[in-house]
Structure 1
Amino acid sequence: MDSQTEKSYRSIDEVKARFVSATAADIARLKKIARIYVDGGEVEELISLSQQSLLSDRKWPVDVDFFALMAMTMKSIASTERRKSALRQHLSVVPQHGDAADLFDIADARDTPEDLASKKSEYEATMEIFRTDDLATTFIDAKVLGYSKQEIMDLCGVDLTGYETIARRVRRKLEQRDQREAING
């Protein structure tokens, strides 16, 4: 590149100095910008992630205003997080320790693609175990989707005893599978 098209960037020391010298008004302005991209408690986190990005991998061109750069950085980070969240498998079937009838959501906000594949595989394997048991698959899907006990009973057409029977059957089959896997290594 020739010198006319070569872009100049601020040094890491200049970036650090800008953050250190931030006034209360600057911080308030950064929070106002962050609120455009995220809600409530995530504002501070977004500012922090943007700061980390500027101190590690993102460059600050000398001809770009600090607040414009922070806005672009925040927008990029928030957009990336929204895309990750949209791709994330939010619910997984997992027996909750101590209460065999309850299943709960173990989705992690920082799931990796490998985690997602593993959760999908776990769900598919679980559904395969119960492929001939319509009540159990309905029960599992309803639990995964967060239905209440009463909604599940209505959906499955059972009373409390029937609900508990299905929950016990699901729990036992999953425990048997886990035991077989532990034995077979």
Structure 2
Amino acid sequence: MDSQTEKSYRSIEEVKARFAYATAADIARLKKIARIYVDSSEVEELISLSQISLFSDRKWPVDVDFFAFMAMTMKSIASTERRKSALRQHLSVVLQHGDAADLCDIADARDTPEDLASKKSAYEATMEIFRNDDLAATFIEARVLGYNKQEVMDLCGVDLTGYDTIARRVRRKLEQRAQQQEAING
């Protein structure tokens, strides 16, 4: 590695110090970010996995804000975990014909890989539309994850008027995009 590359990333000592001196507000903010990507029961685990990742293989660029980098890291880890989970086969023990236990492949009610690919593609296309609008992107991610209105308002740091404004902006951009697609497809 040349010295130019080394200088563009935080050292492991800087990373450790950032976590060692994290305030209660910092931890609350990290939890809020994590809840965008995982269920409340998995928030602590996602934060821990992100920390481990920073201490082992991920490099934090000097010019990237800590919380923005943690959000990117958490999103990546959560996405990878969802992908792994979707690929796992689920077998269950089912009692049949008295006491005999058989392993049966239980039909999985989750989306098929094709469904997941389609949803991922639609999600990525939607997020691309809002790549320069962090508030709208956060709003969309929270809604996709099933957050209720109050949770979205808290996450975005807006009141009811702000929520309605973001919702209108998102709806209008998506409607515009749908009209453009319709015009292209004839």
Deviation string, structure 1 residues 54-78 (Cα, Å, up to 9, x no partner): 0110001100000000000000000
Change (3 A) 1:5 1:23: closer
Alignment partners' CA distance in 2, 1:47 and 1:71: 10
Alignment partners' CA distance in 2, 1:6 and 1:15: 14
For residue 37 of structure 1, report the CA deviation from its aligned partner.
0.1
Deviation string, structure 1 residues 134-161 (Cα, Å, up to 9, x no partner): xxxxxx56xx349xxxxxxxxxxxxxxx
Change (3 A) 1:46 1:93: closer
Change (3 A) 1:6 1:76: same
Aligned to 2:71: 71
The AA in structure 2 aligned to 1:100 is: D
| Aligned pairs (5 A) from 1:29-108 | 29-90=29-90, 92=91, 94=93, 100-101=99-100
Alignment partners' CA distance in 2, 1:58 and 1:5: 14
Change (3 A) 1:4 1:93: closer
Aligned to 2:15: 15
Alignment partners' CA distance in 2, 1:5 and 1:46: 28
Larger radius of gyration: 1
Deviation string, structure 1 residues 119-145 (Cα, Å, up to 9, x no partner): xxxxxxxxxxxxxxxxxxxxx56xx34
Change (3 A) 1:32 1:95: same
The AA in structure 2 aligned to 1:41 is: S
User: CA RMSD of the aligned region, Å?
Assistant: 2.7
- The percentage of counterpart residues that share the same residue type is 80
For residue 100 of structure 1, report the CA deviation from its aligned partner.
2.9
Change (3 A) 1:2 1:43: closer
Alignment partners' CA distance in 2, 1:86 and 1:34: 20
Aligned to 2:174: none
Extract structure 1 runs of 4+ deviating beyond 2 A: 1-7, 93-96, 99-104
Change (3 A) 1:57 1:84: same
Unaligned runs of 5+ in 2: 109-186
